[in-house]
Amino acid sequence: MNKEASDVIRVGSRKSELALIQTRYVIDSLKEIYPKKEFEIVTMNTKGDKILDKSLPKIGEKSLFTEELELALESGRVDFLVHSLKDLPTILPQGMVLGAILKREDPRDAVVMSKKYKDKTLSTLPKGSVIGTSSLRRSAQLARNMPHLTVQSIRGNLNTRLKKLDDEESPFAAIILAVAGLKRMGWNDRISQILEPEEALYAVGQGALGVECRESDWKILSLLEPLHDVDTALRCVCERSFLKTLGGGCSAPVAVSSTLTEKDLVITGAVWSLDGQTVIKDTAKSELYIPDDDAEPPKKCQYREPRLYTGVVPGNISSLSLLCAEQLGKNIAAKLIAKNALEVMFKARNEILNSE
């Protein structure tokens, strides 16, 4: 007997190969917990997927890769969405929440060299070598740390960018991509060099998958709760709080790195000028409340909406810990703001808007 359509859980995803791999990973993780549940993937293109002849900051930073998906979620066409968390704005639409953040893949950046320079690193590439990236934070850090290199914008999904790199007429000596995306695509062998946080801070939420759903959909929220990873959620709430307080996005070079060791959460945040010559950077630490494994789970009240942390539901995570993580993000942003970070970001945005 066929399942009724209403029994099938519909999952929204972008159409790119990486997006579908990530969506299937979330579904497979849920099927391990709920083997009798049925899922259907609903794909769609977003504004960021359709407009490839402009840089991301030129298009506009808000909901570039999420707006169409969120409209489908709001209308009930889908029950939840799978995102690369770095693409998700820190302020979600009214009524939308992050029901789960899955265990983070490697958040660092990777260098993918062209065949011509397969034995090189960024520091040993010839002067003037062209590096492809669509990210302002990557280009600013390259300009500061590797001034002998030239940065050129490259757009498209992973397949498209690798094809551009491999073309015989390609101007690129290398491109910079997220380690997580390459690993999920099974392209570990294309990684020529991994950039440590000391060399290049990464994007807020990079390497993590976020699952967005309706705040009022208790059925889906309950379904997603087992996927919520404590370490990843605490780090990403802190990072998102930092970015939210700064008011940043892809229109200014902003980046982070974070670690959670036992009960200490540490975050480094930075803002650059477009040319990388000005950098405002600082580090902050906070001790978190981490309950023992045998502690009583947090109580939930079905008659009252839970507090959200940069759009993230507490789920099975201590609200005290999440509150500390969120506050730490605000604190590190305040440190940068006290050093004129907002002025640097404002200038960067103006330069982008006034450029050709």
Which among 337, 329, 136 is positioned nearest to 244, based on CA atoms? 329
Side chain identity, residue 304? R
What does the pLDDT read at residue 107? 98
Give every CB contact of residue 42 below 8 A, 6+ residues apart in sequence.
Answer: 10, 11, 12, 13, 72, 77, 78
Tokens 């991301």 identify what position? Answer: 56
* DSSP, residue by residue, 189-207: GG--EEE-TTT--B-TTTT
The tokens for 77 are 């066409």
Which among 5, 69, 72 is positioned nearest to 39, based on CA atoms? 5
Please provide the size of the chain in residues: 356
Tokens 């087992």 identify what position? Answer: 226
The tokens for 253 are 């070079």
What does the pLDDT read at residue 58? 46
Sheet (strand 279-287) strand order: 254-261, 264-272, 279-287
What does the pLDDT read at residue 251? 73
For the stretch 56-60, contacts whose Cβ atoms lie closer than 8 Å and that sit 24 or more positions apart, written own/partner, are 56/134, 56/135, 56/155, 56/250, 57/136, 57/250, 57/251, 57/252, 57/349, 57/352, 58/352, 58/355, 60/251
Alpha carbon distances (Å) from 303 to 98, 193, 296, 313: 19, 51, 21, 15
**Taking the alpha carbons of 280, 283, 286, 290 in that order, is the dihedral positive or negative?**
positive
Q: What are the φ/ψ torsions at residue 149 (nearest 5 degrees)? A: -100, 160
* DSSP, residue by residue, 340-352: THHHHHHHHHHHH
CA distance 334 to 282: 10
Which pTM does this prediction carry? 0.90
Alpha carbon distances (Å) from 91 to 58, 59, 199: 20, 19, 29
pLDDT of the chain along its 356 residues, tens only? Answer: 344 456 899 999 999 999 999 999 999 999 999 999 999 999 987 655 544 444 555 445 455 557 889 999 999 999 999 999 998 999 999 999 999 999 999 999 999 999 999 999 999 999 999 999 989 999 999 999 999 999 999 988 899 999 999 999 999 999 999 999 999 999 999 999 999 999 999 999 999 999 999 999 999 999 999 999 999 999 999 999 999 999 866 678 999 999 999 889 999 999 999 999 999 999 999 998 766 655 555 555 443 456 899 999 999 899 999 999 999 999 999 999 999 999 999 999 888 877 75
CA distance 243 to 256: 9
Tokens 């942003």 identify what position? Answer: 333
Residues labelled as active-site residues: 87
